[in-house]
Amino acid sequence: MRIAVIMAGGSGERFWPLSRRKRPKQLLRLSNRTQTLLEEAVNRTKRLFPREHIFIATAEHLQESIRNAAMDIPEENVLGEPYQRNTSGCLAFVAAHLLSRWSGKESEISMAVFTADHLIGDGDHFQASVLAALEAAERDEVIATIGVTPTRVETGYGYIECADKDAGFYLERSGRRAFAVTRFYEKPDDSTAKEFVNSGRFLWNSGMFFWRLSTVMAELARIQPRLAQAVSLMAAALDKENNEDVRKIFEGLENISIDYALMEHARRVVMIPAEFFWEDVGSWGSLFKTFPRDPLGNVAVGDPVLVDAKGCVVYNEPGPEHMAVAVLGVENLVVVTTTDGVLVVSRDRVQDVRSAIQRLKERSAPQL
């Protein structure tokens, strides 16, 4: 039985003022003028998994909004995490629910883990890569991932180092090869990232993972025994419908990513090279990859007026009927307007938007 998990949490900070605590980026149209990131993710997943086998993991305070936007996914499959515990907590929470729902069948369940904030092209190649990764995970009880060939030096992504091309195996059903992974490296500095890209041995970590439920539980028991125990205890509490115990157990989890908690220490990891376009929609600068640009390299949404502007992102959420936005004689700026917030930031500082959010939190600003 194949299960898909879409991670759709988030604090709504990186795309402020458009994103908010109760409206994070997966509920925004940041790569498509007609669909939110979540809608795109669900549509991709539905082509490979039946709706009753698709789960969406989100924050508890977003559960209702996600259910309303989740496009025919069963309500009980939208899981609300009671606290923020990063991707390791998210996937532990999901695993507990699966163990509770299908008790004793963990060796028969394989999981595909996706996120709701990726821009993915070429649906046929994407589907083929996912099926190959699932085949690898089911055939040899390995953890599989998808690696993306770097197109530039990028310090905001994780990297995967692969063994030489002979250290892999052929997947008969998909006709693809799975390559042994030597190590994961999370978000290197600029000089290290340049070294990785120039070496030709490193690929971007797509953040997509594939495993049998029994395989990942065994690896957690070896690497993170407390986390494995917490999964089992949460599953037992769910069996008894004891949600208070689930909350207490989850609250005690470490706030750490699955990359640090598991993937960097896992023994048998393989990688399927992506044959499709992939980008992480992680900051306002991502809109240069998701929306068309004018002849001067600007991205304009909401019909703003641009005069002698170059290399800018200008996003006018209210639209020209409600707000007139003009940008004149500037280069490499991001300008975002909503009905109650304005952001102006240099393109090379978009990763620092959270520092402005922190100042607004100190003021108890209501626009967060």
273 shares its domain with 319: no
Please say which residue of 237, 263, 280 terminates a domain.
Answer: 280
Is residue 276 included in any domain, yes or no?
Answer: yes
Last residue of a domain, one of 264, 280, 296: 280
Q: Does any domain span residue 368?
A: no
194 φ, ψ (degrees, to nearest 5): -60, -45
Is the pLDDT score of 236 beyond 80? yes
Residue ranges making up the domain that contains 148: 2-280
Chain-wide mean pLDDT for the chain? 93
Look up residue 77 and give its two tokens. 């499959």
Q: Report the domain count for the chain.
A: 2
3-state DSSP of the chain: CEEEEEECCCCCCCCCCCCECCECHHHCCCCCCCCCHHHHHHHHHHCCCCHHHEEEEEEHHHHHHHHHHCCCCCHHHEEEECCCCHHHHHHHHHHHHHHHHCCCCHHHCEEEEEECCEEECCHHHHHHHHHHHHHHHHHHCCEEEEEECCCCCCCCCCEEEECCCCCEEEECCCCEEEEEEEEEECCCCHHHHHHHHHHCCEEEEEEEEEEEHHHHHHHHHHHCHHHHHHHHHHHHHHHCCCHHHHHHHHHCCCCCCHHHHHHCCCCCEEEEECCCCEEECCCHHHHHHHCCCCCCCCEEECCCEEECCECCEEEECCCCCCCCCEEECCECEEEEECCCCEEEEEHHHHHHHHHHHHHHHHCCCCCC
Q: Are residues 43 and 183 in the same domain?
A: yes
The first and second tokens of residue 368, run together, are 């967060």
Q: What is the mean pLDDT of the segment spanning 229-253?
A: 97
Does some domain include residue 306?
yes
Tell whether 74 and 189 lie within a shared domain.
yes
Give domain status of residue 218, yes or no: yes
Q: pLDDT of 196-234, one tens digit each?
A: 999 988 999 999 999 999 999 999 999 999 999 999 999
Residues 235 and 343 in one domain: no
Q: Same domain, yes or no, for 270 and 296?
A: no
For residue 70, what pLDDT is reported? Answer: 62
Average pLDDT, integer, range 12-30 = 91
Please, which pLDDT band fits residue 34 given cuts at 50, 70 and 90?
Answer: confident
Indicate whether 75 and 24 sit together in one domain. Answer: yes
The predicted model scores a pTM of 0.92
Give yes or no: residues 244 and 297 share one domain. Answer: no
Q: How would you classify the pairing of strands 202-212 and 159-162? A: antiparallel
User: What sign for the dihedral angle of Cα 43, 45, 51, 52?
Assistant: negative
Provide Rg for the chain, Cα atoms: 21
Q: Is residue 300 part of a domain?
A: yes
Whether residue 275 contacts residue 122, with contact meaning beta carbons closer than 8 Å, is answered with yes
| HSE of 315, CA atoms in CB hemisphere, 13 A | 28
- Has residue 332 been placed in a domain? yes
- Looking at the structure, tell me whether residues 92 and 178 fall in a common domain: yes
Tell which wins on pLDDT, 172 or 179.
179
Report the alpha-carbon distance of residue 189 to residue 247 in Å, rounded: 37
223 and 356 both lie in a single domain: no
**What does each C-alpha distance from 248 to 97, 98, 241, 271, 273 come to in angstroms?**
15, 19, 14, 36, 40
Residue pair 178/144 in contact (Cβ under 8 Å)? The answer is: yes
Q: What is the pLDDT of residue 171?
A: 76
For residue 166, the model assigns a pLDDT of 63
CATH number at residue 81: 3.90.550.10
> Is the same domain home to 96 and 175?
yes
Shared-domain flag, residues 228 and 336: no
- Written as six digits, the tokens of 261 are 């908690």
pLDDT digits (tens, 9 = 90+) for 49-106: 999 999 999 999 999 999 988 678 999 999 999 999 999 999 999 999 999 999 999 9
Q: Which of 280, 308, 341 is the last residue of a domain?
A: 280
pLDDT at residue 146, rounded to an integer: 96
**pLDDT over threshold 80, residue 28:** yes
Same domain as 65, residue 164: yes
